Structure 1
């Protein structure tokens, strides 16, 4: 902290300070009366009538919309009969105590804001008392009004330090009580207890105030006292939420949870109660002659929430549109990427001249199918084909016509194989065909069919109309389930060797290895 702090001897401060708020004379007399249930109405009326301003306030309040009585009350005695003695005492004390301030300089403590928040809490406590059937709604009002009186005392005892304590609590999201204890060695609840002793306030008023921050610590109290404590706890949360724009006050959802947990008030009941608090605050502020500037009202907060929700919905709709556009764009890019990958994969696997599989792709396929045949005892065959007269075409007509003849042969081979088989250009004028689940005899038939088709299908030269005929020598090998597994290289060597046997035997024929 910027200001040096020291622990307060709060009893000494309360005893010696000349600037602390003092109990008005009328309030002292009312508190000193014992056995209120048996007291004479004239005695109470006589005490209150000593203060003309106070008498006027009580009559004005009784006849206001705050009570909404069917008939006008014209005398204080009538008011006492209608309100009852306990309610009159609480109302009178409320008027006496509300608006108390320092007898000296106010310092930095904001008395106006303090009493505005306290009045918020008091009105909320009265409404909660009416909803829950508490014995005296005016007693709940008075307790709510004095709920945080200790804050006012500390603000007067150590004005500079206490202002920093309030700021530290707000900035650090730490409870005010914890910061008070750390820097002053005392909290405002303890200060209130000592002040109430000094003022000689009755226990039924003090206990709910002293335990309202921690209702669970008063669980051994009787049911009526517990109800009063819980009313003050919920009222305190409502007061903080309605008054403080940036505080440790609860959110509306937290308020609903607290009200339901402590007082079994439903969310709908709480919302209706908050509307009534709004209306009652407008009425009661004038009666207490307080210049109330409320930073928040329930309806105002709802409007802010609705406006915020509207902004959120608008932003959400915009984000959804952007997300949808991004999704469409991503889908387009993904499709383009898939297409590019397919083309790239095709290029990697394909022979650019003939459009057949290339050597690498074929060997990957053959290796995989060989292993599958070994595993499941399926036959597999391999044809190794070499064009017999490609060199003469290249020499006589040029390499362009030689390339055309390779493409011509590739088209024939494509038509001669099944979808499960694979034909590839292995290199130069060599082609290979893998025939899955095919034995040696069927492979020989397939090879002969391929040889005849190549020999009998002429192709036309690019320039001129001359027709050329190609022939091929084909080596055949097969692996049958009765054989031992062999490597792919050995399998290829056998087919290649058979092809050379066909070449040596006169070309344009097939040979089995």
Structure 2
């Protein structure tokens, strides 16, 4: 993380800020025994805010059986959580000035925010109502506040990053890290901390891009927001089938949701956001027919299975690896050793059937035990997050799958690239790691932290067809190449190359 840039962003005078009423609501609600009359009078002191809350409370979003005429009654009928979340949500939206000429995609931003917020709440109501569904609505609304902060502070420089990502949010964090060595979830979490929001809101903001890395205590809440993001993709993508497949997989794994349960949420979602967009006075684009989306996506998934059964099978398998707790690393959210071996085997058989190359990259951190002796507790986690982020920056654009095989051992599965291309990417990673690890935010480390890696590569292609008859042989060769790099002194890249036959 670039600490100088981080400081520059957080000290920007144009950052989003919460109005005085919202800050007072946060202060009052820290006390579990807060007097409801004092909270009601605080909210009612802002007539516009009070009117918006009451309009929402009386909408079909809450479905009250009797009309609610004032904030005190809303607190009685709904409780503290929903009213607090609505007050903070409306305050946040009203505090953000929008100028369509400044290059920021406000319509897409608010579409994602509202759809994720509404979907997070719907998932929580159905699957884990004890986790305060309305707080999760607010967490979804806040999740990308770091994007606005980065745009306010960096202007056109950040707009260039947005454009480089193709305005595809799923690739945005990688492009942010690549260009700026910082990402919006971290900035958003620091803003939430500055506003003194509770951990129940800070943690989903920080981990919404990688739910499996969230602390165990907050994992259900973060997964609600994570699934909410995927549900946004279902109703927003030109081809909803891949997103719907992910929702089916992760909804089942995380919450025990079956297909009909997911479909029910999708059907409710569009109408909820259409109503909320009007209440919040936000342009969130078109709201498609959910029944048509589900039917089209179902046909696409059936078509994929028929036309390319091998690719469909492997894709489903890797999706499953990502959602299974036993096959992902809880800190970084990437595949662990079990997930790596499963995905590598699937990719090996797929690429072999298609005649395309498959590369494996093994990364072993140099002097790891020495770093652990010198550094503070938790340094291993900081190194893991830094290494996986750097690997993703280099290999992500080529659809490489980053994995963590152990505390100090990592891997990348990359298909379709020749040995020279894989080696070039690996060398770029090695050089970047050496240069930028000194900028990682690691307090109490004596001196400058300098992390290097021994990197090994093996590629299954036409030249190695007779050598790599199984995926295990390919993995073993990549491991031996990494060992050769270590034995050569480390901080280098070695690629397995078949011996040339004598003439």
TM-score when normalising by structure 1: 0.54
Q: Which runs of 4+ in 1 moved over 6 A?
A: 171-174, 306-313
> Partners of 1:234 and 1:311 in 2: how far apart?
25
Kindly indicate whether residue 230 of structure 2 is the aligned counterpart of residue 237 of structure 1: yes
Query: Corresponding residue for 1:414?
Result: none
Query: Corresponding residue for 1:276?
Result: 268
**Mapping for residues 387-466 of structure 1, pairs under 5 Å:** none
> Partners of 1:67 and 1:173 in 2: how far apart?
30
> Partners of 1:81 and 1:56 in 2: how far apart?
17
Identify which of 115, 120, 123 aligns with 2:118. Answer: 123
Identify which of 286, 295, 319 aligns with 1:294. Answer: 286
Query: Corresponding residue for 1:21?
Result: 16
Identify which of 248, 252, 274 aligns with 1:256. Answer: 248
Which string of whole-angstrom CA distances, capped at 9 and with x for unpartnered residues, describes residues 362-385 of structure 1? xxxxxxxxxxxxxxxxxxxxxxxx
* Displacement of 1:122: 0.4
Identify which of 61, 77, 81 aligns with 1:82. Answer: 77
Which string of whole-angstrom CA distances, capped at 9 and with x for unpartnered residues, describes residues 379-410 of structure 1? xxxxxxxxxxxxxxxxxxxxxxxxxxxxxxxx
Q: Gapped runs of 5+ residues in structure 1?
A: 1-5, 316-513
RMSD: 3.2
Identify which of 36, 46, 49 aligns with 2:31. Answer: 36
Which string of whole-angstrom CA distances, capped at 9 and with x for unpartnered residues, describes residues 341-375 of structure 1? xxxxxxxxxxxxxxxxxxxxxxxxxxxxxxxxxxx
1:67 aligns to what SS in structure 2? coil
> Partners of 1:175 and 1:163 in 2: how far apart?
14
Query: Is the Cα–Cα contact under 8 Å of residues 102 and 156 in structure 1 kept in the other structure?
Result: no
* Displacement of 1:84: 0.7
Query: Corresponding residue for 1:147?
Result: 143
> Partners of 1:119 and 1:172 in 2: how far apart?
17
Larger-Rg structure? 1
Distance 1:158 1:175, change over 3 A: same
* Displacement of 1:149: 1.2
Distance 1:257 1:104, change over 3 A: closer
Distance 1:309 1:86, change over 3 A: closer
Kindly indicate whether residue 47 of structure 2 is the aligned counterpart of residue 52 of structure 1: yes
Distance 1:171 1:187, change over 3 A: closer
Q: Gapped runs of 5+ residues in structure 2?
A: 308-503
> Partners of 1:59 and 1:250 in 2: how far apart?
38
Kindly indicate whether residue 179 of structure 2 is the aligned counterpart of residue 201 of structure 1: no
* Displacement of 1:296: 4.7
Which string of whole-angstrom CA distances, capped at 9 and with x for unpartnered residues, describes residues 247-298 of structure 1? 9x95211221111112221111001110011121122112212233136553
Greater mean deviation of Cα atoms: 204-213 or 293-302? 293-302
Query: Corresponding residue for 2:477?
Result: none
Kindly indicate whether residue 169 of structure 2 is the aligned counterpart of residue 160 of structure 1: no
Query: Corresponding residue for 1:344?
Result: none
Distance 1:67 1:174, change over 3 A: closer
Kindly indicate whether residue 259 of structure 2 is the aligned counterpart of residue 267 of structure 1: yes
Give the structure, 1 or 2, with the largest relative contact order (CA under 8 Å, sep 6 or more).
Answer: 2
Distance 1:11 1:296, change over 3 A: farther
TM-score when normalising by structure 2: 0.55
**Mapping for residues 60-99 of structure 1, pairs under 5 Å:** 60-98=55-93
Distance 1:167 1:35, change over 3 A: closer
